[in-house]
Structure 1
């Protein structure tokens, strides 16, 4: 799992102190002559009444939890993208999966992957993680009664990190599926799995947060964050609520050591179960695609675009011939809702769209030029292989506009055909060749970047850029749509004073 920040060390210490119910008889005060009437005070409500006992839960659910053992051959894993996952975010890989030095992700090699799973139907369907069985030549499932059964991988999905297995058996004990959408921070949850090969280990904690976006590679998963102790081998095991219902699949941990550090992530069971029928029928999961790249609505974006607040997803790029392009979306739009469901942050959008079937019609609530409007979009099928990263070209020194022609102090030049091809810019835009303004440098602008728009207005020449910037006054925040290393996003630059 990969957040954008790849450097620095985050240390999170979580202390939980049980609050015990304690009643104490107060002594009646001695009478006081001429005392003022006492003001009645209502007692504060007791928020925590004691710690739960999970013994009955484990007795009921335990028979439906299994161990999963996958023999990984020497062939390359289909999940080579894991090399992009920062060191602090780790899937619960067993010792056979090496942890290299800083800056690298886990690398697979031949060996045995040991994880967990749970039975969802009496005729032998088992859910686990994709990364537990990815690249496996052989998969075996061990039941609580010690029976060892060969499992077939019916289907597997890397984005959701879910795999559906099938064993030939009948009358198997099953788990009950719960509702992950109803989870709230602070609720008790329990994990059952095989950490470090210790089968049917039970750990408990609380939900720390819901709807976490922990990795661009899994942007369609609104993870459940917990403080349940999870380690290698817990992958694929159930996360349970206090009614003994499965609400998540334990998948990843935050760690600088490879072991548990108080932050664990689980895949919502609603999401996993939505994929089960597709995995049964086709072996893969199809998702809806809107065709936009979005970013957060920052405080500078609120000022630069004149927005009422920072809620929503700012459209940075609209892919050519995508559903969004056909519906008329454009960079600078702010998506605030999908079919009436609020989009509070940019990370809320991908799970909402990805959970819908290709061909679905959705209504997007937008803010454009400060005005609210609705747009209907027909989703296409997501193609995971369409995104490409471009290299950053060296900006030539010829034909640059003189410094100081615009209040931001940036020199630009027109793009030639080779530069357009290298950058993936189809039309318009100007190449930054030099940055002299301190505010522009502090905002992150640098030579080699391409300015596509000023606000919502496209620019296709240095002169056009200067015209759009000419009216900017000291203290104004200017939003520049910029393409850099294959990614398009808005940069906010505040015009310097004299």
Structure 2
């Protein structure tokens, strides 16, 4: 979505009277410790809760060195000679930039800090500043770009930490408090409510299940804490909807449970080993429900394709099956199914309830590593296509490129959606034909590529 922006940020001030009324109804909350008015009557306040939480919310500064793009005319030897351009101007120039964000200490003893991946992405140096004025160089333990989570470590004593809440128990209407470092101003607190849950389809992350809130989130608050009135972490502030470029009271946070699913793996393995079912899915629309003879109003995810020898294939799942439950929890959309599977580990077992030919069926699947499957397939095809995802086209006219990894020899030459129709001037219609046509020459490969309505030749070299 074009108007959704990520920021280094936290949501609009909610009407104070409404907040106070809500807190008065919850006398057990730590936030309700009274401050004395002049008349002696108690005054509800968030201050007691914030005194315990604020020390665990940190400011993050990142420093990045980037090459400055020079005028392309300087690449022309004739231009340089004609205008007598000094040689020193041809040397690569670099610029050091600084950005600000926020983070949350989730383990005081280990110095573990949680933040957004986009806050530290590409940073050469990361500094964590505490509320008490201390600052420390941080080590990046690992990150999960698909969820937009990163884990840092600092060597420090006398730290505070935020307790984690079960974000699955969060309800629309619950009061929340956003804490972070908006616009680099320093630690700032804003309040609001949970406006919606399970927001997907925003195009911000690979896996989306956002908490929507009207607590003000602004640039610099990304990675900051979204806490409940007990001071427990319910989410990590991540993005805002900004059609006019500013805050309009629609902010998004990653649920704490979703973040912890990635954090646990990062702390254990240094990376996320995401399990895969091996299916292509889509929402169950009313038209598809009618076509599959499914009762109106049924929700679920339709299996459009099952990958050969995948976890789904081994479990007996077929194209046309409608997944309606995962481990007893209802599946309402394809995005929900993708989240339910994608946040689990390789080797996890899941029980799926399906509708097939109008009848309910239960299957069990053991999730596998898509990374290992893809890499094995590509090594078998050709070294110059390492990191390139390939599959047979549906119309049997060529080989479709499904992904191109950043470390692939084909990066910049091929892109997802390309159709390879010939290799070394030999017509190919399948991955196996491509492998045979590529041969054993690892130094070069000539590809005929269809991209949209246009065809071109692409040369890959070692």
Counterparts of 2:181 and 2:194, CA distance in 1: 21
Q: 1:321 aligns with which of 303, 309, 312?
A: 309
Say if 2:180 is the partner of 1:206: no
Say if 2:215 is the partner of 1:228: yes
Corresponding residue for residue 114 of structure 1: 100
CA contact (8 A) 1:132 1:236 kept: yes
Say if 2:57 is the partner of 1:65: yes
Q: Which string of whole-angstrom CA distances, capped at 9 and with x for unpartnered residues, describes residues 227-268 of structure 1?
A: 111010000000000111011100111112332121111111
Q: Report the CA distance between 1:318 and its aligned residue.
A: 1.7
Q: 2:227 aligns with which of 224, 229, 240?
A: 240
Counterparts of 1:274 and 1:213, CA distance in 2: 18
Q: Report the CA distance between 1:274 and its aligned residue.
A: 2.6
Question: For 1:72-87, what aligned pairs fall within 5 Å after superposition?
Answer: 72-74=64-66
Corresponding residue for residue 455 of structure 2: none
CA contact (8 A) 1:232 1:259 kept: no
Q: 1:304 aligns with which of 284, 287, 291?
A: 291
SS in 2 for 1:248: strand
Distance 1:145 1:423, change over 3 A: closer
CA contact (8 A) 1:68 1:116 kept: yes
Corresponding residue for residue 253 of structure 2: 266
Counterparts of 1:201 and 1:337, CA distance in 2: 41
* Structure 2 gap segments, 5+ residues each: 5-11, 27-31, 33-43, 69-94, 375-386, 403-418, 420-450, 453-462
Distance 1:259 1:283, change over 3 A: farther
Question: For 1:175-186, what aligned pairs fall within 5 Å after superposition?
Answer: 175-186=162-173
Corresponding residue for residue 356 of structure 2: 368
CA contact (8 A) 1:250 1:265 kept: yes
Q: Which string of whole-angstrom CA distances, capped at 9 and with x for unpartnered residues, describes residues 121-150 of structure 1?
A: 223111111110011100001111111111
CA contact (8 A) 1:20 1:49 kept: no
Distance 1:229 1:382, change over 3 A: farther
Corresponding residue for residue 480 of structure 1: none
Q: Which string of whole-angstrom CA distances, capped at 9 and with x for unpartnered residues, describes residues 272-327 of structure 1?
A: 22322321232211111111121111111122211123311111222232211222
Higher helix share: 2
Corresponding residue for residue 348 of structure 1: 336
SS in 2 for 1:335: strand
Q: Which string of whole-angstrom CA distances, capped at 9 and with x for unpartnered residues, describes residues 426-475 of structure 1?
A: xxxxxxxxxxxxxxxxxxxxxx9xxxxxxxxxxxxxxxxxxxxxxxxxxx
Corresponding residue for residue 151 of structure 1: 138
Higher Cα radius of gyration: 1
TM-score by length of 1: 0.62
Counterparts of 2:24 and 2:50, CA distance in 1: 23
Higher strand share: 2
CA contact (8 A) 1:238 1:250 kept: yes
Q: Which string of whole-angstrom CA distances, capped at 9 and with x for unpartnered residues, describes residues 89-128 of structure 1?
A: xxxxxxxxxxxxxxxxxxxx95212000111122311111
Counterparts of 2:362 and 2:342, CA distance in 1: 20
Distance 1:16 1:322, change over 3 A: farther
Q: Report the CA distance between 1:342 and its aligned residue.
A: 1.2
Counterparts of 1:287 and 1:359, CA distance in 2: 9
Query: What count of residue pairs does the alignment treat as equivalent?
Result: 341
Distance 1:304 1:226, change over 3 A: same
Distance 1:17 1:57, change over 3 A: closer
TM-score by length of 2: 0.66
Counterparts of 1:20 and 1:193, CA distance in 2: 20
Q: Report the CA distance between 1:361 and its aligned residue.
A: 1.9
Counterparts of 1:59 and 1:209, CA distance in 2: 28
Corresponding residue for residue 47 of structure 2: 55
Counterparts of 1:61 and 1:381, CA distance in 2: 38
Distance 1:19 1:198, change over 3 A: closer
CA contact (8 A) 1:297 1:311 kept: yes
Say if 2:328 is the partner of 1:331: no
Counterparts of 2:283 and 2:210, CA distance in 1: 18
Corresponding residue for residue 8 of structure 1: none
CA contact (8 A) 1:75 1:135 kept: no
The more displaced of 349-358 and 207-216 is 207-216
* Structure 1 gap segments, 5+ residues each: 6-12, 23-45, 77-108, 394-413, 425-447, 449-483, 486-498
Distance 1:382 1:232, change over 3 A: farther
Higher RCO by CA contacts (8 Å cutoff, separation 6 or greater): 2
CA contact (8 A) 2:13 2:215 kept: no
CA RMSD of aligned residues (A): 3.5
Q: 1:277 aligns with which of 264, 267, 275?
A: 264
